[in-house]
Structure 1
Amino acid sequence: MDYREKAVRCVRETVLPVQMAQFEECGRSLDAQYRKYGDTEGFFAKVLQPGHRYEVGYPKCVCPEVQRGDVTDAAHCECSRQSVLYILEQLLPEKRITVETVETVLSGGTCCRFLVTVE
């Protein structure tokens, strides 16, 4: 499965415009955006090292396919990782972004958490 393509289709018209608007409002600063919007319903973000490392995620799985019971395989969480990566690549196209999966609900975690590095 091409999770990148699936992720882009999922967030391009929904989450990306919201994140882009927040990013612009916060002076195109990911640190400022995450400090202001990093504790909202359905999403969290922490600045671990300003300008460089972040933890982002969801308190529960937000995938509609998982919520409907269509998907139970933790491999599907690659779609969420790709979503985070895609959004950040759109916000910071001049930067190199890596996103590592820390834990996901489908893999037995208490939430879905990703470690982001911006270089």
Structure 2
Amino acid sequence: MELSDWFKGFEKGLARLSTEQRKAFFAECGSNCVKCGTLQVYKDLYDSASGDIDLFFHNADKLPGVKCETIEKGAAYYLYFTECTCALHKKGYVSTPLLCECSRQSILYVLHTLWNNKTFSVTLCGSILQGEQNCKIKIEVKEQV
């Protein structure tokens, strides 16, 4: 059996999970994935912005493959990715848009790691795996904790 055959069952299994079950599953997957490298990129951005969230997103806009847009200073942002960077997708193993919950959860993990005194809402507005040009994610700062 090829590894790609195994992932066909993985995709079918994901489809059978409830939304809440997928959130729980991908919270673990997303945090683990981001800890393997990307988290440090975001920590460096956070440090260079001295924790200023507006400056953080302004600087993130300069990263390759990333575009950021401020909707409302200190409160809402759009984060765009110009390509799917998920290794499972890039290697051709998984193509279901359900995988995008992993990205959403990884962004939540990064935001809560950097600003543990804030609460965030992260909404996937569209993704490459859904057939869109970019992955578009809306980030809202919900409240101070």
TM-score normalised by the chain length of structure 1: 0.94
Give me the whole-angstrom Cα distance separating, in 1, the residues matched to 2:59 and 2:105: 23
Give me the whole-angstrom Cα distance separating, in 2, the residues matched to 1:86 and 1:37: 16
1:67 maps to what in 2? 90
2:68 maps to what in 1? 45
The answer on 1:34 being equivalent to 2:57 is: yes
Partner SS for 2:59: helix
More displaced 10-residue stretch of structure 1: 102-111 or 13-22: 13-22
Give me the whole-angstrom Cα distance separating, in 2, the residues matched to 1:39 and 1:46: 11
**Residue 37 of structure 1: CA displacement?**
2.8
Give me the whole-angstrom Cα distance separating, in 1, the residues matched to 2:53 and 2:107: 13
Identity value in percent? 25
CA RMSD of aligned residues (A): 1.1
Structure 1 alignment gaps of length 5 or more: none
Superposition map of 1:1-119 within 5 A: 2-119=25-142
Aligned residue pairs, count: 119
TM-score normalised by the chain length of structure 2: 0.78
Partner SS for 1:96: strand
**Residue 13 of structure 1: CA displacement?**
3.2
Structure 2 alignment gaps of length 5 or more: 1-21
More displaced 10-residue stretch of structure 1: 33-42 or 76-85: 33-42
Q: Which has the higher helix share?
A: 2
Give me the whole-angstrom Cα distance separating, in 2, the residues matched to 1:57 and 1:6: 21
Q: Which of 1 and 2 has greater Rg? A: 2
Partner SS for 2:58: helix
Runs of 4+ displaced beyond 3 Å? none
Aligned residue identity for 2:108: L
Give me the whole-angstrom Cα distance separating, in 1, the residues matched to 2:107 and 2:133: 19
